[in-house]
Structure 1
Amino acid sequence: MVRVRILGVGMGPQHVTPEVAAALRTADYVLAADKGGDDELLALRREILVRHAESVPMVAVRDPARDRSSGLSTVGYVGAVADWHDARAAEYASVLRERGGTAAFLVWGDPSLYDSTIRIVEKIRELGVPVEFDVLPGISAPQVLAARHRIVLHEVGRPVHVTTGRRLQEAVAAGQDNVVSMLNPPPERLDLTGLDDWTVWWGANLGAAGERLVAGTLGEVWPAVVEARAAAKAEAGWVMDLFLVRRPS
């Protein structure tokens, strides 16, 4: 039996909870995707180990290529991600068969929200690797967004809808008027039609290098968002952004 620990780590060493840090120290090694070149996110995972579990080695696994064509339909996108997950599972399964023991995955944000590590580990089981796993939560991006902007994600007694940038207009058309949008494409590929008078609270690389914040009426501040996103990527070498948009009352 191979043990896998799926650990939410927020956006870096400062977000790692004592519970996660203690679990990390029980691992024999950390499995991490290596995207090649100067992989700043891989380096950030190494920082987490230096701070919280210096004796635990990292095993970097080549990350399979994924179809990121800008013209993919929703069905095409789902299929491309499924193929990518299958390829990742095969790569990780090979390492787990060889090394055994207790492996840990360090998950950005929280494993429950727009992350597929749990699904991939279940695929590894289907490939015949006898895996037992547990999951520990981390600080999620929407939590940090709300804290940075000093807001509550919803009005009193009202819901908040969480979706992806690709499906933002679908949510608005369905009547959602308070929406957190994650996994956003570059601004030029994001459809913001009809949202000019909505309020936006936007953030990039929250809690990490390149952090940027912008808030205001979307139609007025979106050019500032575009500039801030580019600056975050230039500073950190990568960018993860999200935002809350709310219809005016």
Structure 2
Amino acid sequence: MIDLTLIGIGTGNPQHLTLQASAALNGVDLILIPNKGAGKDDLAGLRRQICDQVIKKQDVKIVEFDLPTRDPKTPDYRQRVDDWHDAIAGVWSATIAAHLPKGGKVGFLVWGDPSLYDSTMRIADRLQRQQKIALTVIPGITSVQALTASHAIPINEIGAPFTVTTGRQLRDHGWPDSADTLVVMLDGDCSFQSLDAENVQIWWSAYAGMPEEILISGALSDVSDQIIKTRATARADHGWIMDIYLLRR
């Protein structure tokens, strides 16, 4: 029997861990850390730093595994993601079997919160279909919370809704009718460029809540170019970038 705990760790700042998350990290036998390859080693390193600072238990195994990549030759986006998740689930299963052949407790550190634009629970569901796994999910601080806290702004206007969406959706379908406030995640193309910038404000953050955090805000028409240039420079400097922004009209 495997007890698998998905632990939300916030945006990479160890101070974002909840007491529940810290207790969970000290209660497992094995921690899995994905390695996304050259240029993104910092992500695995940040997970290890969190473990080093939080874990007091002496016999916790920390094992890195190479994360499979999506096959760009698969034309259908959904199929491409499903195949990728299947491959990751296979690597998880093999790694757990190699290091906990008699069963035990496994922890996986999840950026932000496992429920928000993250596929870790979907991958865990694949494992549950194959073997006996008890799944526990511990929530974490999201990049949405870190973004609004860093800019000291509320996420919504008084009594008004907001929509959380992706760069792909914004680029392909424009501003949704559901709200005048949008939070945009997973945007590698600065999709705000596709909008009519008139009367739109933006609050942008990269590495939200971390020491490297970068904040830019203002009228979209005024700061759009600055964000694009700053983002490109930060990505080149670090080899990776996590950014998020809020738009309000």
- SS of the equivalent of 2:7 reads strand
- Listed as ranges, the matches of 1:65-214 within 5 Å are 65-67=69-71, 76-98=76-98, 99=100, 100-126=103-129, 128-169=130-171, 170=173, 172-187=175-190, 191-214=193-216
- Check 1:209–1:40 CA distance in 2 against 1; reply closer, same or farther (3 A cut): farther
Note the C-alpha offset of 1:20. Answer: 0.4
Structure 1 portions without partners, runs of 5+: none
Note the C-alpha offset of 1:214. Answer: 0.6
TM-score (normalizing by structure 2): 0.90
Q: After the TM superposition, which of the residue ranges 142-151 and 76-85 deviates more from structure 2?
A: 76-85
Note the C-alpha offset of 1:59. Answer: 1.1
Note the C-alpha offset of 1:24. Answer: 0.6
Note the C-alpha offset of 1:171. Answer: 5.6
Residue type of the alignment partner of 1:125: Q
Cα RMSD (Å): 1.9
Residue 62 (1) aligns with residue 66 (2)? yes
Note the C-alpha offset of 1:175. Answer: 4.8
**Separation of aligned partners in 2, 1:138 and 1:92:** 22
Note the C-alpha offset of 1:232. Answer: 2.5
- Check 1:175–1:114 CA distance in 2 against 1; reply closer, same or farther (3 A cut): closer
8 Å contact kept, 1:161–1:180? yes
TM-score (normalizing by structure 1): 0.90
Q: After the TM superposition, which of the residue ranges 8-17 and 149-158 deviates more from structure 2?
A: 8-17
Residue 24 (1) aligns with residue 28 (2)? no
**Separation of aligned partners in 2, 1:236 and 1:208:** 13
**Separation of aligned partners in 2, 1:61 and 1:147:** 33
8 Å contact kept, 1:205–1:232? no
**Separation of aligned partners in 2, 1:222 and 1:202:** 10
Q: Could you tell me which residue of structure 1 aligns to residue 15 of structure 2?
A: 14
Equivalenced residue count is: 241
**Separation of aligned partners in 2, 1:28 and 1:245:** 43
- Within the candidate set 210, 217, 220, 2:219 is matched to 217
Note the C-alpha offset of 1:196. Answer: 3.9
8 Å contact kept, 1:196–1:220? no
**Separation of aligned partners in 2, 1:27 and 1:65:** 27
8 Å contact kept, 2:34–2:44? yes
Note the C-alpha offset of 1:19. Answer: 1.1
8 Å contact kept, 2:144–2:183? yes
- Check 1:196–1:29 CA distance in 2 against 1; reply closer, same or farther (3 A cut): farther
8 Å contact kept, 1:210–1:233? no
- Check 1:4–1:159 CA distance in 2 against 1; reply closer, same or farther (3 A cut): same
8 Å contact kept, 2:193–2:224? no
8 Å contact kept, 1:5–1:23? yes
Structure 2 portions without partners, runs of 5+: none
Percent identity between matched residues is 39
